[in-house]
Structure 1
């Protein structure tokens, strides 16, 4: 691999094995036969403060074709972070192994189910492999930016048109996962248990400590009763989390994306601004269980403020109608879920809603900051934690969302 880099500081963050990879097969999958790869130039694929767990690179290639003309193509490379703390966490949880399985085995089978039913569908960017196994963790993907895919603004949230597009694709994804179990058997333990294992108790406690959030909650206007309800929640939160995340085989279960927020959703628009396609990325924390998990995660983290509570039931109904339509299309053999059962699951999983608004939403609404990383997220005394919960945009959203959660009984999970 011939590599040109922009400055030493950027190159220092590149994996040491990067110069050793070759991409002949990936290029051939994109272009067909070609003469040679002239150059490969790695560029940082995400700005500081936008990425927490992995290193993202964009690989820019100049390729000589058979007619000796040249063509520029690119790939996205997701690699293990150079930060030792992050790398250790990712390794312990085997998140790259899980994501590789999703991109190369499970998602193609999901898409094949729809192809066989006469409805071609794509859930994610195409995945490739480097020519030789280097014994390192990585994910190599097509560069969706080449097809004009973009994220929407996470700070303003998704409007109704974009939310409906995501829910439509999420319903198709969930339906495929339910039918996958009928065709291929239950997902492995990495999906049925995932990170929610007793072996990960300490890590779960560190990630989900509520001290910084509760300190600010105590100061918010008209939040005294809610604070009193949650004041000692760190004493039992992980116990309840481990309990709630055990899937119930008697209920309707799906493979949840697990990290379904605006930065992991890519949109392609036509010349008039209409949505043409919606794709998901980042499949490291998928979890088999109630669809309530993904629904709370998506709506409470990424819908525009005017939709989160005012349109919540409408969004659930839209998702449900699409779910049933896809289950019928794929000839799901078990009894179809009912809307009332989905609402019951949402009420039972109140902790999932609390986790989103207290752990995920403050990160989503955080302006770019150089302090945004996994270590800062865990550290209750970090500048990042202080910024998360004192952010006036976040506080404004929570003054509406927290009472809504409380009025629905979703904070009564002690």
Structure 2
């Protein structure tokens, strides 16, 4: 790898992974541009800023290529790899998150897109994925750099406006419809998707990830939240039991492959010169889970819709998603009974714990300003500065003064 250990953009050479100099990208470059003469250099850049990534190492690889006519061309790839931290690396390995994501990018998503191609519709769900030339000895995902095509995230702190929510729900409905038709054609997904991380073997890890002590300590102090606090005060005693129960898919219901982590930072938008949304793509497919679409709907709307939309437009957004879901199922010639809106709402009511998990575990992270203390270890430590900042953030507290009563009035906190 030419010049791959050169420090660049705040990434000094001694901070580079020891395996990085062994990376070669001939196959990836060939897949991008066809035949070429040689790779002149590969320069790594930091791929994400502090406070924006919690569990993986992200690098942007800038590649200078000499073409057959001896001119040069610059390419860019995004490399996502297992974290240098041994504890975090062990967790990712145990949960097989990179294995799942590799399957998604290289096997499952292309088949979803092919289902649409067969009925005359061109659709893309994610950036194009590539393989390096030889084994690196670490888990990794290599992707096209969407920034080169002017894709970007919207501001997670302000949330997605109605136009952006429409476009995301359209793409999510198409993704879910493809997954339902995929099962119809190919049979059920494997255990890594039907069970995922929600197994008895992972009970201790689930308890550590989902401990509510820091949240409940602050909830107790919030104005007019006493009754809700009383309802949730001992929830850590039974939360994981209920989580393991709720995340078992019900074969008698309409099920889809949920993205599983569908929030603003995992959604990329491309706009035209006038600001109109041209394309929406998803990234980060490590925790996909087969089950009720209620999971993705709660995750997306409650974590990433603008505050004024989360509850006021919730039912409207569900209906918008549902109409697009049915339209895509018909397009793909889905042969099983089409889902009904009333059944989707019933699933949303049955999965109240999923809503609580989003607003108490995900939303405070989404609304947290960038901080160097933001990492997975801090997230799992109830005494960390990050945890305190999450639940004392005035913007989060303000949103929760509306969201929590809304959940309670719908009976979505009655999952004991």
For 2:114 and 2:123, the matched residues in 1 are separated by 9
From the superposition, tell whether residues 128 and 303 of structure 1 become closer, same or farther in structure 2 (CA, over 3 Å). Answer: same
- Other-structure match for 1:107: 109
CA shift, 1:132, in A, is 1.3
Alpha-carbon distance, 1:9 to partner: 5.7
**Matched-pair contact (CA < 8 Å) for 1:15–1:79:** no
- Per the TM alignment, residue 319 of structure 1 is displaced from its structure 2 partner at its CA by 0.1
SS class of match (1:47): coil
Following superposition of structure 1 onto structure 2, how do residues 132-281 of structure 1 map, counting pairs within 5 Å? 132-281=134-283
Change (3 A) 1:195 1:335: same
Q: Structure 2: 5+ residue runs without aligned partners?
A: none
Instruction: State the Cα distance separating 1:136 from its structure 2 match.
Output: 1.9
User: After the TM superposition, which residues 10-409 of structure 1 pair with which residues of structure 2 at under 5 Å, given as runs?
Assistant: 10-409=12-411
Identify if the C-alpha distance between structure 1 residues 367 and 8 changes in structure 2 by more than 3 Å, giving closer, same or farther: closer
Tell me how far 1:48 sits from its aligned partner: 1.1
CA contact (8 A) 2:203 2:240 kept: yes
Offset of 1:135 from its aligned partner?
3.2
Shift of 1:26: 0.5
Residues 299-322 of structure 1 show CA distances to partners (whole Å, capped at 9, x for unaligned) of 000000010000000000000000
The 3-state SS of whatever aligns with 1:203 is helix
- The CA deviation string for residues 84-110 of structure 1, in whole angstroms up to 9 with x for no partner, is 111011011010000000000000000
Q: What's the TM-score, normalizing by structure 1?
A: 0.99
Distance 1:305 1:197 in 2: 33
The answer to whether the 8 Å contact 1:13/1:82 transfers is no
- Separation in 2 of the partners of 1:352 and 1:33? 49
Contact 1:10-1:44 within 8 A present in 2 as well: no
Q: SS of the residue aligned with 2:148? A: helix
SS of equivalent to 1:334 = coil
2:39 partner SS: strand
| Partner-residue secondary structure (3-state), 1:76 | strand
Separation (CA, whole Å) in 2 of partners of 1:130 and 1:233: 46
Counterpart secondary structure, 2:227: helix
CA RMSD of aligned residues (A): 0.9
Q: Contact 1:35/1:66 (CA < 8 Å) preserved in 2?
A: yes
- After superposition, the C-alpha distances for 1:37-96 in whole angstroms (9 at most, x for unaligned) are 000000110011111010000000111111111111100000010011110110110100
8 Å contact from structure 1 (residues 300, 356) kept in 2: yes
Residue segments in structure 1 that go unaligned for 5+ positions in a row: none
Structure 1 residues 116 and 7: alpha-carbon distance in aligned structure 2, compared to 1, 3 A threshold = closer
**Could you list the per-position Cα deviations for residues 183-216 of structure 1 after superposition, in whole angstroms to 9, with x for gaps in the alignment?**
1110000000000000000000000000000000
Q: Provide the rounded CA distance (Å) in 2 between the counterparts of 1:169 and 1:113.
A: 15
**Aligned with 1:402: secondary structure?**
helix
Output the CA distance in 2 between the equivalents of 1:54 and 1:141. Answer: 14
| Shift in CA distance, 337/137, structure 1 to aligned 2, threshold 3 Å | same
- Cα 1:152/1:251, change in 2 over 3 Å: same
Contact 2:8/2:43, CA 8 A, preserved across alignment: no
| Superposition deviation, residue 20 in structure 1 | 0.5
Distance 1:202 1:408, change over 3 A: same
TM-score, length of structure 2 as denominator length: 0.98
